[in-house]
Amino acid sequence: MPFLFSLLVIALMIGALVDIITRDDSQVRFLPKMAWIIIVILLPLIGSLLWFTIGRDYGESGIRLPRVSRAERPARTAAPPATPARPVDTRTTEQQLADLEREIEEWRLREEIEKRKRERDDPSAAS
């Protein structure tokens, strides 16, 4: 009988360890995963029972126990912010060239207007 009890405790401990390791950090309650692993290894029966009763989050289908607030949990490193995607120019090459030619013409006309304003304001500076 003690042999059977020992096998059950070892099986429960292995099951708890596998469940702790494979569970996402957001589904672990009250302690970090590493602390639960240490508790289950040092106290196989009690640690495993504690893990399955209060340490794991069963989602919407299980018993709901009060959660530890985020302020009480150790800080986790946040994921780096996603870099914004580079803008994609959907114009064809011909459209881009036409836009560039229009822009060049616009700058040429602005220079012409500025030149005429200078000539009108100061007729002696005309060259």
pLDDT digits (tens, 9 = 90+) for 42-88: 888 888 888 888 887 776 554 445 555 555 555 556 667 778 888 88
Which residues, 6+ apart, have CB-to-CB distance to 51 below 8 Å?
A: 16, 19, 20, 36, 39, 40
Alpha helices in 33-91 (DSSP H): 33-42, 44-50
Q: pTM value? A: 0.45
CB-side neighbour CA atoms (13 Å) of 71? 0
Q: What is the pLDDT of residues 102-123, one digit of tens each?
A: 999 999 999 999 999 998 888 7
List b or e across 40-55, with b for residues whose CB sees 16 or more CB atoms inside 10 angstroms. beeebeebbebbeeeb
Longest dimension (CA), the chain: 117
Q: Compute the distance between CA of residue 30 and CA of residue 55 in angstroms, rounded to an integer.
A: 6
